[in-house]
């Protein structure tokens, strides 16, 4: 792609239903030095003739959903750039250029216009889009008596962004460079499809051609830096098995990331346990495992759910709680792979519980900020649920307020998508953040989880009891489910039951258990017993 620093003459059409907003935007464009020779017209409806324009900019406000829906039916040959608020991101047509309005400024808009224009002026081969790829794959599979081979490739861009360049522009450039590199160097007669923006599938009939070292593992230029993660060459003998084969490829990439990213100069903080040296190999060595702490109905005591708790069995340090290593996993960029593994194992555990009991329970998983900040997180979760045949309403994601509020543009979009599919979203450690009350009604959540500090121990009268009462009353008014964790004695259990808490979790019923131990305990029945020693994690 040509540099965005060059002088370019563009004829733009700016469309929107709000004249004042359009005038302000047009004025901003005219004041930028790089757009001195640009021609910009404004109008409030679809263009009848687009041949005289180089680019159409569609400006949307949050109340323009009905108008946006009409654009899905409009066929235009001229490139379109949507300027859209977060609320409309999920409603945009697929494969369109979009600049989020929260990051909109003069420079970002100029960069985006020039990038899209140069892309249109210098068209290049592209990978097959998802639907076209699967359609051609199925046809090719039907004609291949000996099966096909495929390789999953994923690109991760390493370049840092600053205030002068939006992540969208950087990601767009890197994606194009990555795809063109793969297209130009792939084996002859290979079929290449894009299933995610940063993920390609290369299919061929020659195992050894795909296996050869034909693509660069890493690319570092002055402007961009990216690296490629790859699965091994996988064989496919029937199209119906494609989902499982692709899943295996994605898991192999996750494991490879743990190894490759350990070679980066992360400079982690010094600590006595020196966990970093072993963290990147822990998944490969199957050192991580899950324990499950059951959850119960607050009034009847019936077993209704379980929270999956991640543990690391270090070869020399023994079992390490997540409070120690999760931050390290986030700092080293390994948390996405670790979170995906934990989610998959939890869903598999749900399947085993379903087989043993008539009524399946809800499974809760803790999620960190880097996971929900991934633009593809919601799609990955929903795909995994579909692959493992778990209905979304049996899954609960627990997040802290900090994780939800650090980046509302992407994380909240993911959470809204997941909530719309029926997944429960619970605000963990409620009451410990600084803005829980002020933002509670704005967050896409279905429930809150009271931090143990508010309920253990708790007197029947006094300030602490009043605080818990207020929290529960607020949650009920907002139609939110409530869970009290850390319940360890019968007095505390009686108090939270009296206050109307929906669900109970704590050592009074059960400590975290391995899956088989949980199943055995469930078969024999849970009973409430005072526990006088606090949990470490």
Calculate the CA 153 to chain-centre distance. 19
Give me the phi and psi of 380, to 5 degrees please.
Answer: -65, -40
DSSP 282: H
Q: Which of 485, 516, 520, 523 is catalytic?
A: 485
Active site annotation includes 5: no
Q: Where are the alpha helices (DSSP H) in 312-459?
A: 322-331, 335-356, 369-372, 377-387, 401-405, 408-420, 436-439, 452-455
What's the full length of the chain, in residues? Answer: 537
Asked whether the beta carbons of 189 and 204 are under 8 A apart, the reply is: yes
Asked whether the beta carbons of 377 and 197 are under 8 A apart, the reply is: no
Report the C-alpha dihedral over residues 390, 392, 200, 135, rounded to 10 degrees: 80
CA distance 191 to 528: 60
Strand partners, 218: 227
Query: How far apart are the two ends of the chain, measured CA to CA in Å?
Result: 51
Which of 214, 211, 325, 244 minimizes the C-alpha distance to 278? 325
Calculate the CA 65 to chain-centre distance. 24
DSSP 473: H
DSSP element (H, E) containing 21 = helix 19-31
Burial class (CB in 10 A: 0-12, 13-18, 19+), 295: buried
Token reading at 67: 């108008």
- Three-state SS sequence of 216-236: CCEEECCCCEEEEEECCCEEE
The DSSP result for 157-220, as a single string, is: E-----TTS-HHHHHHHHHHHHHHHHHHHSPTT-EEEEEETTEEEEEES-HHHHHS--S-SEEE
Q: Where are the alpha helices (DSSP H) in 373-514?
A: 377-387, 401-405, 408-420, 436-439, 452-455, 463-477, 490-498
Burial class (CB in 10 A: 0-12, 13-18, 19+), 140: middle
Strand partners, 296: 303, 504
- Three-state SS sequence of 88-149: HHHHCCCCCEEEEHHHCCHHHHHHHHHHHHHHHHCCCCCCECHHHHHHHHHHHHHCCCCCEE
Q: Where are the alpha helices (DSSP H) in 239-376?
A: 242-261, 276-282, 322-331, 335-356, 369-372
Rounded (5°) CA angle 10-16-21: 90
Active-site annotation, residues: 485
């Amino acid at each position: 792609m040509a540099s965005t620093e060059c002088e370019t003459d563009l004829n733009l059409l700016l469309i929107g239903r709000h004249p004042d907003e359009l005038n302000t935007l047009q004025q901003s464009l005219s004041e930028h030095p790089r757009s001195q020779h640009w021609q910009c017209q404004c109008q409030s409806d679809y263009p009848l003739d687009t041949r005289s324009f180089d680019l159409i900019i569609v400006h949307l406000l949050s109340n323009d959903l009905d108008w946006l829906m009409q654009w899905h039916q409009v066929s235009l040959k001229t490139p379109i750039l949507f300027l859209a608020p977060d609320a409309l991101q999920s409603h945009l047509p697929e494969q369109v250029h979009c600049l989020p309005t929260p990051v909109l400024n003069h420079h970002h808009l100029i960069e985006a216009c020039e990038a899209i224009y140069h892309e249109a002026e210098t068209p290049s081969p592209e990978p097959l889009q998802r639907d076209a790829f699967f359609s051609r794959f199925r046809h090719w599979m039907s004609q291949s008596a000996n099966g096909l081979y495929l390789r999953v490739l994923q690109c991760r861009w390493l370049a840092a962004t600053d205030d002068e360049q939006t992540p969208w522009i950087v990601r767009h450039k890197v994606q194009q460079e990555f795809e063109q590199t793969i297209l130009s160097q792939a084996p002859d007669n290979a079929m290449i499809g894009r299933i995610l923006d940063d993920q390609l599938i290369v299919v061929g009939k020659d195992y050894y051609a795909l296996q050869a070292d034909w693509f660069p593992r890493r690319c570092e230029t002055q402007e961009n830096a990216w690296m490629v993660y790859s699965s091994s060459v996988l064989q496919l003998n029937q199209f119906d098995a494609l989902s499982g084969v692709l899943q295996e490829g994605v898991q192999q990439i996750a494991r490879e990331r743990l190894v490759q990213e350990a070679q980066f100069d992360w400079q982690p903080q010094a600590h006595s346990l020196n966990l970093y040296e072993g963290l990147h190999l822990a998944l490969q060595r199957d050192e991580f495992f899950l324990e499950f702490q059951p959850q119960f109905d607050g009034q009847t005591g019936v077993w209704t759910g379980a929270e999956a708790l991640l543990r690391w069995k270090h070869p020399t340090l023994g079992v390490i709680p997540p409070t120690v290593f999760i931050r390290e996993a986030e700092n080293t960029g390994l948390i996405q792979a670790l979170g995906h593994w934990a989610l998959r194992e939890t869903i598999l555990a749900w399947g085993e519980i379903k087989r043993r009991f008539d009524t399946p329970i809800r499974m809760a998983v803790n999620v960190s900020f880097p996971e929900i900040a991934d633009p593809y997180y919601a799609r990955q979760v929903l795909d995994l649920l579909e692959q493992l045949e778990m209905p979304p309403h049996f899954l609960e994601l627990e997040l802290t307020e900090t994780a939800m509020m650090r980046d509302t543009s992407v994380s909240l979009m993911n959470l809204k998508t997941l909530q719309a599919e029926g997944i429960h979203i619970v605000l963990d450690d409620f009451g410990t953040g600084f803005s829980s009350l002020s933002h509670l009604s704005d967050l896409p959540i279905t429930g809150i989880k009271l931090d143990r500090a508010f309920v253990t121990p708790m007197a029947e009268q006094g300030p602490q009891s009043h605080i818990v009462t207020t929290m529960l009353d607020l949650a009920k008014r907002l139609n939110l489910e409530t869970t009290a964790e850390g319940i360890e004695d019968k007095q505390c259990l009686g108090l939270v039951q009296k206050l109307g808490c929906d669900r109970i979790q704590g050592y009074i019923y059960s400590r975290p258990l391995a899956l088989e131990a949980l199943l055995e305990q469930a078969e024999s029945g849970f009973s409430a017993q005072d526990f006088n020693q606090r949990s470490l994690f």
